[in-house]
Amino acid sequence: MSKIRIRAGVLGASLLALGQPLAAHHSFSMFDQTRTSELKGVSVAQFQWANPHVFVVIKKDETTYTLECGSPSNMSKTGWKFNSLKPGDRINVSFYPLRNGKPGGALKVATLPNGSKLDAW
Return the exposure string of 6-24: e unless at least 16 CB atoms fall within 10 Å of the residue's CB, then b.
eeeeeeeeeeeeeeeeeee
Specify whether the backbone of 24 is left (phi greater than 0), alpha (psi in -120 to 50) or beta: alpha
Furthest C-alpha separation in the chain: 69
Domain encompassing residue 46: 37-119
Place 15 in a pLDDT band, splitting at 50, 70 and 90: very low
pLDDT for 1? 56
pLDDT for 14? 44
CATH number at residue 82: 2.40.50
Asked whether residue 10 is assigned to any structural domain, the reply reads no
Structural domains counted in the chain: 1
pLDDT (tens digit, 9 = 90+) per residue, 97-117? Answer: 999 999 999 999 999 989 999
Which H or E run includes 81? none
pLDDT (tens digit, 9 = 90+) per residue, 49-95? Answer: 999 999 999 999 999 999 999 999 999 999 999 999 999 999 999 99
